[in-house]
Structure formats: C-alpha cells, structure tokens
Amino acid sequence: MYCDHCGAENRNNANFCHKCGTDLSALLKNEKKSAVATLSDAPAPPPVIDESTARAGFQQILSGRYELKEFLGRGGMGMVFRGYDKQLGMDLALKFLLSRYADDLAAIESLKREAKAAMRLAHPNIVRLYNFEDTPQLKYLLMEYVRGESLAALAAKRTNRRLSEPEVIRFMCEICEALSYSHKENIIHRDIKPGNILVTTEGKVKLGDFGIALINEKAVDLETDEVSGTPSYMSPEQTLGQPLDGRTDLYSLSITMYEMLAGKPPFRGKHSRFNYISMVPDPIEGVSDWLNAILLKCLRKEPEGRWSSAEELRDVLLGKKEGGLALKAKFRPWWVVAEDLKRNELPPTAPDPEPKEDIAPPVLPRAEVQRTLAPSSASRTKQRVEKVGRYAGLLENASERDQARIAYGTTAGIIAGILLFLISKETTGIQSPRVFLHFGFTIYGGFLGVAVGFAHKKFIRGALSFSFGLFGGILTGLFIPNGLEGSLIQVQPPVSATACAAVIGALLGVADGIYCQSINYTVRCAVWGAFGGAAATILFMLIRHLFSAFWSPLPHWVILGLLLGFSIMMGIGLARKPAIEKYPSQQ
C-alpha cells in the first residue's frame, strides 16, 4: 500500500505512513472494499507455508519446479523442508520465512541483502546458498541439502551428551576453516551454536544459517528493540550491541566446544543475557589442561584477549602453534599423529638370516672406570678454614651483609672509642673510675647495636640491636667492683672487664636471634656473641700489657672499641650457618 501524500510504500495493514505520518485508514478501507468486489474474479492464492503445512506433511509444488518432500525442522523465524528440483534432478533444502514475517518490508530487504552476501561463499565446510525466491506470499532460500544431522542431535545420542576430545577438535578445526574463509569475505555469522553445525553421514562438518542469523536480528529489532540470538552463545559485545568482528564468532564457537566436551553449556540457568557478561566458566573436568587453556582463552570477555583469528585457533588446535600458552603437556590430535607415523614408517625388511655356528660372538671393549681421588688432609683443612671465614664474613665469597656487619661493627667501635677519649679529657677528676667505666661499656653496646642496623639496612633490626646493646651496657654495672681508684686506663680488672664484654656480646646476639624468630638460633648467637666479647677483652689485655711503657688514653679506648666491634660481630656471624638456609630473606 502506497501513501497518496509522499508515495512511500507501507505495510498492507498500516494505519499511518511510516515516512510522513499521513493517516492511511481511509485508504485501507477503500482497498478492502475493492478487494471484496473483485474477490470472485481473483486467481487462487499461492500456497502458504506455515506450521500447519509441517503438521499436515502433504506435498506441494512451488513455481512449477520445486517439490516439497519432507519437513526437516523449524527455527525462530523460519521452517526448513527437503525439496526436489525437477529441472536439475537434485535434492535441495528450502528455508521459508514464517507467514507473520512475510509482509515485513525491513525483514525482506535485509534477507535479500544477506542472501546476496551468503551466495558469494563457496567453501566445502559451508552450506551453499543457491538463490533467493520472492513470491507475493512466500520468501524462501534455496540451499544445499546436507544428508546428516546437527551437532546438537549427535551429542544427544551420546552418554551425558559429551563428545570425545579428538572428535570435538576435528569438528572445530573444520569450522575454523569455514570461519576463516567467511571472515576474509567480511561476513560474520553471529549465530554459531550446535544446532547450526551439521555433520554429514561421511563425518564432514558444515556450517549453516548464514544470513538468517542477521535477518533475525533485524526483524526482532523492529518489534522489540532488542538484539536477537541465543543468549548463552552470544559474545559480550554482541549482547551489548557494540561493533563486532570475527572474534565474536570465536567466542560463540568456544561456547559450542565447551558444551560438546562438558555435556552442558558454560552459561545456563535463570540468568538474563546480561549476567553472562560477568560470569567466568570453570575448567571442564576430565579434559586435558591444554584444551582447557585454549577454551578459557577463547572465552575471555574482552575481544583483545581471545585468539586473533579463526586461522590462529585452528593452528593451535592442530598443534602447529603454541599461542603463548604455558601448558603442562602437549596434546596432538590422533589423526595428526597417525599421519606422522605413516610418513615416517619404514619399509618392511627381510628377516635376518640365522647366524652360523662357527661365527664367534663379537668381543666388546671393556669400559674404563675413572676413580675420583679423595681430597687430601691439607685440602680438607683449607676447605674448613674457608667455610669458617665465609660464615664469619671475612672472605670475598661471604655475603654482602656479613662483610658489612664486621666493617660497620669495627667502625662503630672506633668511633665510640674516640668519643670516650674526648669525654674522658673533659671529665677528668669529676667522676669516679667505676662510673666512667660503666658509662664506657654502655656507649660501646649502643654503638654496636646501631652498626647492626646500618649493616643490614633494617630500621627495626637496628632499633632492636641498639636497645639490647644499651641494656647490656647498663647490666655491666653489676660486674664492675666498687672502690676502683687510679687512672682509667690502669684500673680495669681483667675478670670484670671480660664479663662486661661477654654480656654486651651475648645481648647483641640475642637481639639478632629474636629478629630471626628462632629459639635455637638465639641461643647460638648469644653463646657466640659472648665468646666474641670475652675474646676481644682478653686480646685487649694482652696488647695493653705488651705496650704498657707508652700506653695512653687514646689507643686505650680506640683499640678496645675496635676489638669489641670486630670480635663480637664475627662471633655472631659464626652462628649464622643454619639461619642462612632457614631465613634466606633475613640475610
């Protein structure tokens, strides 16, 4: 029906013009009167293909050429029959639009446009589209007739609706061939699912319904303003109405692969199609890690995270390309393995003749055994010395922190000795020798604790060592006898001085063990630290006795601090061997 005002074509039952809005009700009434007046003279209408036709199962002849033989199936927008072409003498598949869409102009134009695009596709894995027939009441497609069944029907016959891995990989590789070809022709299927994949009686796979998926979307858009398709097979970008490319078909194909392997689709239940956008499927139990990794990459929500093309997916499935996947095992399809075995198969050879009795067996050369000499005693002694030096922090192969601990400890002892020398000059005659000696050991303990923090570059460790070193210096007051008189550099009793140094070394070792959170290590550090402090004091007493003739306050305090820093830090280092393996992050 055409508008009298603008001349635009409208539906026969339209009340208003879709272009200019003119009221067409009067024109509609006139056409009905005219139709009633001429009804007796009108020819018989063409046959109508609808649900009743399929239920009746009768035969009809279309255009004097195509004879309907068998009803094959029904989709959301059309019905499929097996027909016979009388002129060419071959079976065809005829797909009709349902009668309620026969007058939809947008649907018809879209079907024509997509039919022209699908007719360009000529591939062995694609159902061929031959022609589009447009009659007053029938719009249908002429397609290749495939003898076989759909992938969904094939899975329904199997136990738990599951196919084997080799079967699914072979089917999907052939579909990837079809998609690679169609994508190069700038045609996107957009409705891949098990019902649209056909398996012939020879086992060949063909992809069908090119164009119908697109007409479905156009037709439903005009009525409900929604994107059509099967929600559980649609990609997120297709659900949201975003621009599409070939990767949307890879997403739908991966959903199909998942369903064939698991026996159920990854997304199902009482969820809206928008909920599928955020849902992540679980790996399939009983399927190899290799194939699960490929499927999960296909099911990435963002198109950039999937395989870039159907050709790349096919190469990965065939084992020709790894695709950047860190896989635990390599799986190769059985038919690829069979081809390799056949290619590498050697021709049969005649059996070896029986050996004669007079032929002696060959004499094989004896294998030479090389003996490893045991290390000498001198070599073992050298290894022990290097081992002790390594853990004490003395050698080049010692760790950086062990070397820094001795260096910082020795430097801190020298600085503390210089500071005590300067303080002793300013306080001469003011304080008693006992008080100043107590103060000196406290300074040594605090400075050595700070040195530990600088060596390991850990503030908490330095604060802990400083606190315990300072506390050890304070405790030395218990070991210094009362009533000391004379010069500070002459009044230090050997026993009490040794005990004071041992207390400082033990508490610094306890701080190191507490930081590493090990009771056994704390005990070892305390023992070795006390041993280092005592050894430093004994060595200091020996040096002072040898050079007593020209002994002075400056070398007194500096040498004592140097020996305390070096000996205590080395002693704690000797207790660090087990901690190196147990606490590698604390080094």
Beta-carbon contacts of residue 332 (< 8 Å; ≥ 6 apart): 318, 319
Question: Do 15 and 70 lie in a common domain?
Answer: no
Place of tokens 């395989």: 307
Q: Which two tokens stand for residue 361?
A: 């067996």
Which CATH number fits the domain that encloses residue 64? 3.30.200.20
The residue among 332, 355, 376 that closes a domain is: 332
- In sequence order, which residues have a C-beta less than 8 Å from that of residue 154 and are 6 or more positions away? 163, 199
Walk along the chain (587 residues) and give the pLDDT tens digit of each residue: 556 666 566 666 677 776 667 777 665 555 444 333 323 333 444 455 655 555 454 456 677 788 888 888 876 667 888 999 998 899 999 888 777 777 777 667 766 766 776 788 889 999 988 888 877 767 888 889 999 999 999 999 998 899 999 999 999 999 999 999 999 988 888 889 998 899 999 999 999 877 544 433 443 333 333 455 677 788 888 888 888 889 999 999 999 999 999 998 887 755 555 566 777 788 888 888 888 888 888 888 889 989 999 999 999 888 887 655 544 334 444 555 566 666 666 555 555 555 555 555 556 565 555 555 556 666 666 666 666 555 555 555 455 666 778 888 888 889 988 888 888 777 655 467 777 778 888 888 889 888 888 888 888 888 888 888 888 888 887 777 665 554 545 545 677 778 888 888 888 888 888 888 778 888 888 898 888 888 888 888 888 888 877 778 788 888 888 888 888 888 887 775 443 443 344 44
Indicate whether 25 and 138 sit together in one domain.
Answer: no
Whether residue 167 is found in the same domain as residue 273 = yes
Whose tokens are 């503030």? That residue is 459
* Residue 7, phi-psi category: left (phi > 0), alpha (psi -120 to 50), beta (remainder): left
- Is 209 catalytic? The answer is no
Residues 243 and 321 in one domain: yes
Would you say residue 198 lies in a domain? yes
- What is the Cα–Cα distance from 19 to 6, expressed in whole angstroms? 8
CATH number at residue 162: 1.10.510.10
pLDDT for the residue numbered 439? 84
Q: What is the pLDDT of residue 361?
A: 59
One domain, residues 268 and 228: yes
> What's the CA gap between 561 and 448, in Å, rounded?
9
Taking the C-alpha atoms of residue 129 and residue 114, their distance in angstroms, rounded to an integer, is: 11
The residues near 196 (Cβ < 8 Å, ≥ 6 apart) are 150, 189, 207, 208, 209, 213
- Same domain for 267 and 327? yes
d(CA 197, CA 80): 15
Per-residue burial over 411-425, b if 16 or more Cβ lie within 10 Å, else e, is: bbbbbbbebbbebbe
Q: How far is Cα 167 from Cα 190, in angstroms, rounded to an integer?
A: 23
Chosen domain end from 110, 125, 144: 144
Inter-residue contact 556 to 564 (CB < 8 Å): no
Kindly state whether residues 253 and 162 are assigned to the same domain. Answer: yes
Query: Is 431 within the bounds of a domain?
Result: no
203 three-class SS: coil
Residue 496: inside a domain: no
User: Cα-flanking dihedrals φ and ψ of residue 139, to 5°?
Assistant: -125, 120
Q: What's phi and psi for 499, nearest 5 deg?
A: -65, -40
Residue 142 in 3-state DSSP? strand
Any domain includes 195: yes
Domain containing 321: what range? 149-332
Flag whether the pTM goes above 0.85. Answer: no
Query: Would you tell me how many other CB atoms lie within 10 Å of the CB of residue 232?
Result: 17
Q: Using CA atoms, how far apart are residues 57 and 79, in angstroms rounded to an integer?
A: 13
Residues contacting residue 583 through CB under 8 Å, at least 6 positions apart: 516, 517, 518
| Cα–Cα separations (whole angstroms), residue 83 to 56, 111, 439 | 16, 21, 112
Please give the DSSP secondary-structure letter assigned to residue 91.
Answer: E
Tell me the torsion sign for CA atoms 404, 406, 407, 409.
positive
Q: Please check whether residue 223 lies inside any domain of the structure.
A: yes
Predicted confidence at residue 133, as pLDDT, reads: 83
450 domain-assigned? no
Select from 568, 489, 563, 580 the least CA-distant residue to 528: 568
| Whether residue 139 is found in the same domain as residue 154 | no
Spatial separation of the C-alpha atoms in residues 105 and 18, rounded to whole Å:
12
- 139 assigned binding-site residue: no
- Pair (294, 235) in one structural domain: yes
Last residue of a domain, one of 332, 349, 365: 332
Number of domains in the chain: 3
CA distance 107 to 99: 12
The residues that bridge with 68 in the sheet, in sequence order, are: 83
Lookup result for tokens 């071959």:
90
Query: Under 8 Å CB-to-CB from 181, ≥6 apart: which residues?
Result: 121, 123, 125, 126
Per the residue annotation, which of 191, 209, 249, 402 is the catalytic one? 191
Please tell me the chain's helix, strand, coil percentages from 3-state DSSP, rounded to the nearest 5. 55, 10, 40
Produce one character per residue of 467-479: b if its CB has 16 or more CB atoms within 10 Å, e if not. Answer: ebbbbbbbbbeeb
Distance CA 244, CA 259 (A): 23
- Domain match, 64 and 123 both: yes
Phi, psi (5° rounding) for residue 329?
A: -145, 155
Please report whether residue 492 resides in a domain: no
Is residue 203 located within the same domain as residue 277?
A: yes
Local structure of 427: helix, strand or coil: coil
- Residues 164, 254: one domain? yes
In the structure encoding, which two tokens stand for residue 200, read together?
């012939």
In a domain, 117, yes or no: yes
- Cα four-point dihedral sign 86, 201, 205, 264: positive
pLDDT at 312: 92
Question: In the prediction, which pLDDT does 26 show?
Answer: 64
Say which residues have a Cβ less than 8 Å from residue 223's Cβ, sequence separation at least 6: none
Return d(Cα 222, Cα 502) in angstroms, integer: 93
